Amino acid sequence: MAKNKADLLQGTLDMLILKSLSLGELHGYGVIQRLRQLSDEMLNVEQGSLYPALYRIEQKGWVSARWDVHDTGREAKFYKLTRAGRKQLETEEASWDRLVLAIAKVRQAT
Amino acid sequence: MKWFNILRDRLRALRQREAVIHDIDREMRLHLELQVEANINSGMSPEAAREKAMRSFGNVNRAVDAAYDVKGGGLFETLVQDSRYGVRMLAKHKAFTSVAIVTLALGIGANTAIFSVVNELLLSPLPYRSAEQIAMLWEVTPEGRHQNITSRANFRAWKAQNTSFQGIAAFTDQRFNMTGTGEPEELSVQLATPEIFSVLGVDPLLGRTFLPEDGEPANMDVAVLSYPLWQRRFGGQSNIVGQQLTLNGIKFTVIGVMPPSFQFHIKSRSGTGRPAELWSILPMPVGPGANDRGRFLSVVGRLKDGVPAEQAAAELRTIEARLSEETPEYNKNYSAEVLPLRDQFFGNVRRPLWLMLGAVGFVLLIACANVANLLLSLATSREKEIAVRAALGARRFRIVRQLLTESLLLALLGSALGLGFAYLGIKALVLISPRDLVSLQGVGLNLTVLAWTLGVSLLTGIVFGLAPAVHVSRLNLNDSLKDGGKSESAQASGSRRLRNALVVSEIALAVVLLASAGLLIRSFIRLQQVDRGFETDNLLTMVVRIPDSRYREDAQFVNFFSQALERTRHLPTVRSAGMVNFLPLYGGLGSATGFKIVGRPEPPPGQGPSTDVRVADAGYFKTMGIPLLRGRNFSDSEQREPKHVILINEALARKHFPDEDPIGRRLDVEMFDTPQPAEIIGVVGNVRYDSLIDESPPAVYFPHPDLTYAFMTLVIRTDGEPTAIAPAVQREIRALDPNQPVSDVRTMNQVMADWVSRSRFNTLLLGLFAGLATLLSAVGIFGVMNYSVALRTREIGLRLAVGAQPRQVLLLVLRQGLVLTVAGIVLGLAAAFALTRLLSGLLFGVGAVDVTTFTAISLLLVVVSLLACYLPARRAMRIDPLSALRYE
């Protein structure tokens, strides 16, 4: 694994998925692509673990899913952020900001 | 929302597992395909593109599994899987399953039945509003007799001076003859002060209950009917309110009907001994001539909010102490007590009930041990199957869960059958429960009971399933796969120790139950052997009460009864007949009365002797077989008019005339408004009136003319079956007065049986549970020995092959069984020594540690377990050495 890539912290995958979906409806592969673009290829998400996470988020009611025809002509499952999901994303981003700020303060102190 | 989604997904996965997996698969495949295409587009060869895509995706199978765990799967699906597998397993081992289920059902059924009684009597709320605020108020006599009735004057003082109660009401149960509509009938009537219904907090079904103004002398002729009386005598007419009925010749107006569930009956202090069918106003006259000081009232009260019963009791004692000071001639040394209603009703059954619940708990534990043993044997023979599952990657937790699911399944099946047993058991309990105990009519399988049963069965499932499950999960795979659990492997010896321990504890538990049952049985036998002072066979009894309104003069009462007896004596098969006011062992009020011995110095007030007072005729002693020890019986003239004579019992003679002849001495018994000394003309044998347990207290007998009662109990001794004569006696009494009913027609043996019924009930139940426990442990020891013989087939075959005698093999097996049994007995006796003292209040004539009983039950268990070992031992003896050796 390349040194210049960052492993995901436990629990952050949900937030990243929500974030990537906040820009529009996507299928699973699309979520991975968008994360890669947004992070300038720096984030290392194990693609297989995306789906359990997506299903869990769906069960929590943060995203809704539907099967539709993909632009390649094949059927794909598309995920879309719900209102509850948008709210959740805000909460998670806020608490993430607080965490980053706190860690930064601690690090500056040393 | 979240739970709903998960549940929906899981349920879908359960029904359409394939479709769910297909969807996941499709989604991931598209992902991979898109990735491969992207890689090719960036210039890779198809092979490299595919390889890179797979690598970046990670393990596909694991991803599908993880995804499926979210969508379906999880605990829910494994539970269903485990259950399905468990059902298949149980169906495969039919013999095992049926034995286990029946064993559990017996344990759970007994538990459910007893719990339903405990729930009804000790846990459910009483059928009165805020029943925890209701309490009885009693006096305590100087002799320390509790729950003693009080007088009008004292009731008035309590009512005026207390600050603890919202209200208190006095009441007394009396017999009234109802005439007018249909057959004359004797009713049990509760006369009460008007507050009674508001104190109890019940509303009528029809009409109204008492108002304060009903207590005014002019308004007292009101009646409230019980629901059964309304149905029985008035056909449930809805216009009953306002109608009139005649009681003891006086007209009463019906003002209301109570709901079917309402009853208020303090059996031990009831003058009628049966629940009231009608309520009317208790007259509370004041002034000269009013019987203000006679004790005949029970008192019930409702505590004010937040006032505990102890505080009210302290206040009542203070009031009573004041009364004792102000009026020592009536109240010297009297105290008072406040008894919460539940304690009043069920205080005396609380301990036996908890004991019974403990006993059935023991039975259930034994059942659990048995099933655990069966499961262990089964698990040992399933070692190979389980080892294969473990070898294929099943985690230990997963295997334990599978086995626990099986045992829970067993427990649930057992409790389903157990509920059936409980249903029948409750019916039987209600049938055999003593009439004087408490009404078990309301006992049944309600929701609380079902919840208890479910809880108990889940708990038992875990208790008996855990040991085998944990044991099996520790299997050494290699050994198990190698020999498939056919011979004694290292773990198998561990499981043998566990099985032995289980059997030893079963026997120990059975010992405790048997010891308790044995003690109760011995007490019961002792109780039957008590010299009660009279002969019970061929004796018919009945109560005749003549209304005061029709016979005004004492002489008329005396006349009526002597004529009735005279007519009865002339009936065929009647050998003799007599009468007494209160029968032995029949409850009644029998309160002690003070007396003075004429010619002896007078003791200070409140410290004089007291005696039981009865009214009887000469025929009573002859008919009951009560011996005349000294002097003579009442003469004819003494039974016609007052001659101031009495008979005393042996106890009084012994206590007060130890060194002199009591004949000719005179006693002044405080039964009369003016002193009225009576001469002792004879001494008769003691009779156990109040209880078989306590020694007879002193007693005096007045002839009827000296102390006239409006009701008498006739006793009639017959040749042959006494009940046959009852209709003829009733005819004779009807001939004297067509409006005169009789009641409580019973043989003396029935009266006796009723008295010992509680003791019989306890003995019967505990005996039943002990028998069940013994049976179950016999099954347990049989199972263990049988299994052990099966495991040792080869070894035993070898022994026989090298020349052991079959008899030696038999002894080998029996000895092994005996060692377990003796270990169990020793352990059980130790526990019994500690536990049987809980029985002490229920025992009579035998200590809580009784060597005879303990020895007998130990021997019984040894015999039972030897019998249980005999079958496996015989099987071992008949093992064919050749086939046993080939068996491997």
Task: Please report the beta strands in B195-249, taking only residues with DSSP state E, as ranges in sequence order.
Answer: 206-207, 222-225, 244-247
pLDDT of residue B629: 93
Number of domains in chain B: 4
The set of long-range contacts for B486-492, using a CB threshold of 8 Å and a minimum separation of 24, is: B486/B887, B486/B888, B487/B791, B487/B794, B487/B888, B488/B791, B488/B792, B489/B383, B491/B383, B492/B380, B492/B383, B492/B791
Q: How far apart (Å, rounded) are the C-alpha atoms in residues B702 and B613?
A: 8
Query: Do the domain assignments include residue B748?
Result: no
Whether residue B672 is found in the same domain as residue B567: yes
The 10 Å CB-count burial string (b at 16+, else e) for B677-701 is bbebbbbbbbbbbbebeeebbbbbb
- Per-residue pLDDT tens digits for B66-81: 777 777 666 667 777 7
Whether residue B359 is found in the same domain as residue B421: yes
For chain A, how long is the longest CA-to-CA vector?
Answer: 56
Please report, as a single letter, which amino acid is at residue B283: P
pLDDT of residue B488: 47
CB-based burial of residue B581 (10 Å sphere; 0-12 exposed, 13-18 middle, 19+ buried)? buried
CB-based burial of residue B537 (10 Å sphere; 0-12 exposed, 13-18 middle, 19+ buried)? exposed
Residues 6 or more apart whose Cβ sits within 8 Å of residue B393: none
- For residue B477, name the pLDDT band (cuts at 50, 70, 90): low
| Residue of B34, B37, B40, B62 to mutate, interface with A, max A Cβ within 10 Å | B34
Residues 6 or more apart whose Cβ sits within 8 Å of residue B762: B352, B356, B520, B842
Contact assignment for A55 to B34 by CB distance below 8 Å: no
| Residue of B1, B8, B11, B31 to mutate, interface with A, max A Cβ within 10 Å | B31
Torsion of CA B218, B220, B221, B222, to 10 degrees: 130
- For residue B539, name the pLDDT band (cuts at 50, 70, 90): very high
Which of B28, B34, B70 lies nearest to residue A56, judging by beta carbons?
A: B70
Q: How far apart (Å, rounded) are the C-alpha atoms in residues B77 and B10?
A: 8
Of B364, B383, B362, which Cα lies nearest the Cα of B372? B364
Task: Please report the beta strands in B650-710, taking only residues with DSSP state E, as ranges in sequence order.
Answer: 666-669, 678-684, 699-702
Cβ-based contacts of A74 with chain B (< 8 Å): 30, 33
Phi-psi region for residue B69, left (φ > 0), alpha (ψ -120 to 50) or beta?
Answer: alpha
Query: Do the domain assignments include residue B29?
Result: yes
Domain boundary at B703, B738, B773, which? B738
Whether residue B772 is found in the same domain as residue B734: no
Structure tokens at B273: 């001994």
Whether residue B828 is found in the same domain as residue B804: yes
* Domain A12-109: CATH class, spelled out: mainly alpha
Contact B187, B316 (CB under 8 A): no
Percent of chain B residues topping a pLDDT of 90: 28
Please report, as a single letter, which amino acid is at residue B198: S
pLDDT of residue A48: 79
Contact assignment for B2 to A47 by CB distance below 8 Å: no
Flag whether residue B830 sits within 8 Å of chain A, measured between CB atoms.
no
Bridge partners of B224? B256, B279
Q: Mean pLDDT throughout B552-560? A: 80
Bridge partners of B593? B611
Flag whether residue B10 sits within 8 Å of chain A, measured between CB atoms.
no
Query: Do the domain assignments include residue B32?
Result: yes
- Per-residue pLDDT tens digits for B691-714: 777 788 889 999 988 888 777 899
Domain hosting B159: range is: 142-333
- The pTM (predicted TM-score) of the whole model is 0.71
pLDDT higher for B396 or B714?
B714
Query: Do the domain assignments include residue B751?
Result: no
Query: Do the domain assignments include residue B761?
Result: yes
Q: Would the pLDDT of B16 be above 60?
A: yes
Task: Tell me how far CA of residue B590 lies from CA of A62, B268, B489, B748, in angstroms.
Answer: 80, 11, 74, 19
Structure tokens at B484: 């498939």
Contact A18, A51 (CB under 8 A): no
Cβ-based contacts of A27 with chain B (< 8 Å): 27, 30-31
Whether residue B314 is found in the same domain as residue B422: no
Whether residue B325 is found in the same domain as residue B369: no
- Per-residue pLDDT tens digits for B504-513: 998 999 999 9
Contact assignment for B59 to A48 by CB distance below 8 Å: yes
Distance from CA of A110 to the nearest CA of B (A): 38
Cβ-based contacts of A52 with chain B (< 8 Å): 63, 66-67, 69-70
Nearest residue of A to residue B62 by CA position?
A48
Strand B539-545: give its sheet, edge to edge.
Answer: B574-580, B711-718, B539-545, B742-747
Whether residue B686 is found in the same domain as residue B775: no
Which of A29, A48, A61 lies nearest to residue B34, judging by beta carbons?
A: A29
Whether residue B329 is found in the same domain as residue B353: no
Torsion of CA B462, B467, B470, B471, to 10 degrees: -160
- Per-residue pLDDT tens digits for B264-301: 988 777 777 788 999 999 988 876 666 777 788 999 99
pLDDT of residue B486: 47
Flag whether residue B62 sits within 8 Å of chain A, measured between CB atoms.
yes
Flag whether residue B34 sits within 8 Å of chain A, measured between CB atoms.
yes
Whether residue B678 is found in the same domain as residue B770: no
Tell me how many degrees the CA angle B170-B171-B173 measures, rounded to the nearest 5.
165
Query: Do the domain assignments include residue B17?
Result: yes
Q: How far apart (Å, rounded) are the C-alpha atoms in residues B107 and B113?
A: 10
Query: Do the domain assignments include residue B601?
Result: yes
Residues 6 or more apart whose Cβ sits within 8 Å of residue B286: B292
Contact B738, B562 (CB under 8 A): no
The DSSP element (H or E) to which B167 belongs, if any, is strand B165-179
Q: How far apart (Å, rounded) are the C-alpha atoms in residues B543 and B710?
A: 11
- Per-residue pLDDT tens digits for A15-28: 888 988 988 888 88
Does this complex have an ipTM over 0.90?
no
Whether residue B296 is found in the same domain as residue B413: no
Among A2-11, B352-361, B399-408, B515-524, whose mean pLDDT is lowest? Answer: A2-11
Task: Tell me how far CA of residue B441 lies from CA of A104, B111, B120, B224, B360, in angstroms.
Answer: 75, 19, 10, 23, 21
Q: Would the pLDDT of B310 be above 60?
A: yes
Whether residue B765 is found in the same domain as residue B719: no
Flag whether residue B2 sits within 8 Å of chain A, measured between CB atoms.
yes
Domain boundary at B281, B300, B333, which? B333
Contact B715, B744 (CB under 8 A): no
Q: How far apart (Å, rounded) are the C-alpha atoms in residues B149 and B659?
A: 35
- For residue B492, name the pLDDT band (cuts at 50, 70, 90): low
Distance from CA of B18 to the nearest CA of A (A): 17
Domain boundaries, chain A: 12-109
Query: Do the domain assignments include residue B620?
Result: yes
Whether residue B391 is found in the same domain as residue B359: yes
pLDDT of residue B437: 53
